Amino acid sequence: AESCREIGVETIESTYETARLDTPADIVASFEVIEHLFDPGAFLGWCHAALNPGGHVLLTCPNIAGFETLILGRESGAVDHEHLNLFTPESLARLAERSGFADVEVTTPGRLDVELVQRALDEGAVTRETVGEAMCRLVEAESDLQDRLQALIQDARLSSNMMMTARKPA
């Protein structure tokens, strides 16, 4: 928020339920929030109402169907008692569409999936038997192969981090 203010972007820090806008916004951005909300549909409804026609919402959240989560299971950072909602790219897109948004695009641009699995192995959070020997060899491979594996994870929409953009129809 401070970085946005420094470059002149009007920034509101509050819960969406108490946020008051003097005029509709051109963009609403929300990073790693929607998974913590009791009613994510109500939040997206608020975003829709807060936007000018043609305005955009941008949000990020974990992908429960992502590589890191699939490999690490309950040891994944996405599996957290504070995460009340767990989304896949498809479920997040459907929720946005039900909330009135168009041009919904969900990507998985994460860059840390391989590193997170490697760290969990190094720290003993998971065992080689749990992860599987073939997967261990892939995540422990030379950095070029790790980079290619991460790119494949992104291309397959399997990163454990998602970004959604959507537009309020004009």
pLDDT tens, residue by residue, 122-145: 999 999 999 999 999 999 988 899
Q: How large a percentage of the chain has pLDDT more than 90?
A: 78
Which of 10-14, 53-57, 60-64 is least confident? 10-14
What is the pTM for the complete model shown?
A: 0.89
Average predicted confidence (pLDDT) for the chain: 93
Q: What local confidence, expressed as pLDDT, does residue 14 receive? A: 86
Query: What is the per-residue DSSP string for the chain?
Result: -HHHHHTT-----S-TTT---SS-EEEEEEES-GGG-S-HHHHHHHHHHHEEEEEEEEEEEEBTTSHHHHHHGGGSTTS-TT----B-HHHHHHHHHHTT-EEEEEE---S-HHHHHHHHHHTTSS-HHHH-HHHHHHHTS-HHHHHHHHHHHHHTT--SEEEEEEE---
